[in-house]
Amino acid sequence: MVRLNKLHVITLLILIAASVYGYYFMKVKRDELRKEEARLELQKAELESAQIELRKAAPPPAEPEAKAPAASPIREAASGVLTYIVRRGDTLWSIAKRMEHFGQGHRWYDIWKANDSQVFDFDRIVSGQALVIPLDKPDNYAWPKTDESRKRAILGRTRKASSKSAGGL
């Protein structure tokens, strides 16, 4: 026969209390989740009805030719080629990575080579500068090689700039 001592009884009571508390906690959380879901559904329905009302109240759209671009830095230049106005903080990589351009950052080289005459150093582009985005060129397009004098000039500028910054430390 099994003898129950005080330790057995206390352990059993603790287990029962933990089970009751766990059940209560789970029930409260489930109720909170249901209330939150109902609130979100109500907000979604209100938003959809507001969008429908806005569409009904909005004037008919003007002709596409008359619509002005919404401060977009992109202009259509010719088929397969875009002109992009550089904004503060842009890099060739970030410009190439935009979905409306290439969608791939490694295509920065194509932008640089297409604008070889105005972008002397690919690490330094200026806000307000107009860059040609050659969308008509495929990935791995064989651009003409950069001549040695230009390479030396670019490397000389970057080495001078880095030595100046290193000297200031």
Could you give the C-alpha distances from 81 to 11, 84, 131, 135, 138, in angstroms and in order? 77, 10, 10, 5, 12
pLDDT at position 77 is 47
The mean per-residue pLDDT over the stretch 114-134 comes to: 81
Mean pLDDT (the chain) is: 76
**Amino acid, single-letter form, for residue 113:** K
Q: Is residue 34 one of the residues assigned to a domain?
A: yes
Number of domains in the chain: 2
pLDDT at position 16 is 94
Q: Is residue 123 one of the residues assigned to a domain?
A: yes
Res. 131: pLDDT tops 90: no
Strand order in 130-134's β-sheet?
74-78, 81-85, 130-134
Q: What string of H, E and C letters represents the secondary structure of the chain?
A: CCCCCHHHHHHHHHHHHHHHHHHHHHHHHHHHHHHHHHHHHHHHHHHHHHHHHHHHHCCCCCCHHHCCCCCCCEEEEECCEEEEECCCCCCHHHHHHCCCCCCCHHHHHHHHHHCCCCCCCCCCCCCCCEEEEECCCCCCCCCCCCCHHHHHHHHHHHHHHHHHHHHCC
- Domain span including residue 14: 9-52
Q: Is residue 168 one of the residues assigned to a domain?
A: no
- Measured between alpha carbons, how far is 139 from 142 in angstroms, rounded to an integer? 9
Q: Is residue 115 one of the residues assigned to a domain?
A: yes
Same domain, 143 and 78: yes
Q: Is residue 97 one of the residues assigned to a domain?
A: yes
CATH number at residue 135: 3.10.350.10
Give the residue, 159 or 85, on which the prediction is more confident.
85
Q: Is residue 109 one of the residues assigned to a domain?
A: yes
Give the residue, 70 or 113, on which the prediction is more confident.
113
**pLDDT tens, residue by residue, 2-61:** 787 999 999 999 999 999 999 998 999 899 999 999 998 888 888 888 888 777 776 666
Structural tokens at position 86: 């550089």
> For 169, what's the count of Cα atoms within 13 Å in the CB-facing half-sphere?
4
Q: Say how many Å lie between the first and final Cα of the chain, rounded.
A: 84
pLDDT at position 122 is 72
Same domain, 90 and 126: yes
Res. 111: pLDDT tops 80: yes
- Measured between alpha carbons, how far is 51 from 58 in angstroms, rounded to an integer? 10
Lowest mean pLDDT among 14-18, 94-98, 112-116: 112-116
Q: Is residue 110 one of the residues assigned to a domain?
A: yes
Q: Is residue 164 one of the residues assigned to a domain?
A: no
Q: What is the pLDDT confidence band of residue 65, given thresholds at 50, 70 and 90?
A: low
Same domain, 44 and 99: no
pLDDT at position 99 is 74
Same domain, 32 and 92: no
